[in-house]
Amino acid sequence: MQKTLVIGAGGVASVAAHKMAQNHTVFPDIMIASRTKSKCDTLKVDIEKRFGKNTKISTAQVNADNIDELIKLIRNYKPDLVVHLALPYQDLTIMDACLACEVSYLDTANYEPLDTAKFEYKWQWAYQEKFEKKGITAILGCGFDPGVTGIFTAFAMKHHFSQIHYIDILDCNGGDHGYPFATNFNPEINIREVSAKGKYWENGQWIETQPMEIKRVRNFKGVGEKDMYLLYHEELESLVKHVPHLRRIRFFMTFGQSYLTHLKCLENVGMTSIKPIKFNGQDIVPIQFLAAVMPDPSTLGPRTVGKTHIGVIFQGIGKDNHPKNYYLYNICDHQECYREVGSQAISYTTGVPAMIGAMMYLQGHWKKPGVWNVEQLDPDPFMIELNKWGLPWHEDFNPVLVD
């Protein structure tokens, strides 16, 4: 009987744990462990109310910044896989604990030091040999973006292209939660990501832009016309390494004017800073204080309406040696997600791929000693499960390109 340890009890972990309970033959026994145990207990009650008790669920308290606590928890529970859905700051402590206990690992976001707003794969890639030697697997970035975007790329490479030259990843959230300013996943991580400089890769080099400097307008199927902006996003780093013949890769995300105006204003007054300041004799980090007063993303579910549309446009030479354009995408409805698992579509589009990635490992498709980005693994069984578990994908052989 396979056991899965889920670390974290926020928006993404909630969806992944709900989907594991739906998929109880693959996940007969799970443990949800997080910083605040009461959140794990509430989650367990909600899951059992919706989907019954076919999956045995236990809960625990853990500080995932503390390796000794993690090792103790893993040794007691003895999972086959640790699914890390807490925050990117904990990637390395959890990977270290997995190494010490010889257990495989999966996450949805790459490591980012708490005191520097800079995410990079180098820290996690450095574990390649250690994981290989222990015969355990680490699957990195298995949400939607990163995650499904990399799996779409592996699928396009395997079935459609002999060479991919251009990739544009498009992330559109057409959802409306009714607040003037809120984020759909962890506010601190979200604001760190979008307030950073933009960056894309072309002809062998990285080109940096000012935040939100490059804007395009696009009509997204299922959503309508939206402004989208070029951002740096973590899968660009791994795809540049893993897609041969690539000439350019970019990432665009949609933002509404209200979000951007609030963000600019908060930046201008210093509220997005990650440098601690003294306040009433106490050290506080402005962005953490801001996150604490903003709406909790896990409460946005009931009030968010509309759809997300996330996809990847590929251009290159097809298997028949002719030029080819190809678009793979998913459309997801916020309210349908809420009805099914009590969460909005941003958590859903991340939590479902995390569950499927865990399934790929437990079923042996992705059991391979070492540290892997998802585009290095076989996309076919994953693509089949995406259609079954709530994120069906669509193809367009004549997509409108981004200039």
Binding site for ligand NDP (CB under 6 A): 8-13, 34-36, 39, 62-65, 85-88, 90, 108-109, 141, 143-147, 185-186, 189, 297-298, 350
Residue 304 or 315 having the CB closest to ligand NDP: 304
Residue 115: CB minimum distance to ligand NDP, A: 15
Residue 111 or 327 having the CB closest to ligand NDP: 111
Residue 218: CB minimum distance to ligand NDP, A: 20
Residue 316 or 357 having the CB closest to ligand NDP: 357
Residue 351: CB minimum distance to ligand NDP, A: 8
Residue 111 or 161 having the CB closest to ligand NDP: 111
The b-or-e profile of 207-238 (16+ CB within 10 A means b, else e) is eeeebbeeebebebebbeebebbbbbbbbbbb
Distance between the two ends of the chain, CA-based, in angstroms? Answer: 51
Residue 281: CB minimum distance to ligand NDP, A: 25
Ordered DSSP codes for 381-400: HHHHHHHHTT--EEEESSPP
Contact between 386 and 393 (Cβ < 8 Å): yes
User: Which among 327, 375, 363 is positioned nearest to 147, based on CA atoms?
Assistant: 375
The b-or-e profile of 248-258 (16+ CB within 10 A means b, else e) is ebbbbbbbeee
Residue 160: CB minimum distance to ligand NDP, A: 23
For the chain, counts of helices (H) and of strands (E) = 14, 18
Residue 104: CB minimum distance to ligand NDP, A: 18
The residue type at 346: I
Residue tagged 């959890």 (tokens): 94
User: Which among 76, 78, 84 is positioned nearest to 16, based on CA atoms?
Assistant: 84
Residue 270: CB minimum distance to ligand NDP, A: 23
Residue 130: CB minimum distance to ligand NDP, A: 22
Alpha helix (H) residue ranges in 23-111: 37-51, 67-77, 91-101
**Residue 277: both structure tokens together:** 């300041």
Ordered DSSP codes for 8-45: --SHHHHHHHHHHHHTTTT-SEEEEEESSHHHHHHHHH
Residue 41 or 132 having the CB closest to ligand NDP: 41
Residue 191: CB minimum distance to ligand NDP, A: 12
Residue 91: CB minimum distance to ligand NDP, A: 8
Residue 8: CB minimum distance to ligand NDP, A: 4
Q: Say which residues have a Cβ less than 8 Å from residue 253's Cβ, sequence separation at least 6.
A: 171, 172, 173, 194, 228, 229, 231, 233
Dist CA 329 CA 262 (whole Å): 30
- Burial class of residue 180 (count of CB atoms within 10 Å of its CB; 0-12, 13-18, 19+): exposed
Dist CA 151 CA 159 (whole Å): 12
Backbone angles phi, psi at 190, to 5 degrees: -60, -45
Q: Say which residues have a Cβ less than 8 Å from residue 145's Cβ, sequence separation at least 6.
A: 169, 171, 233, 235, 251, 310
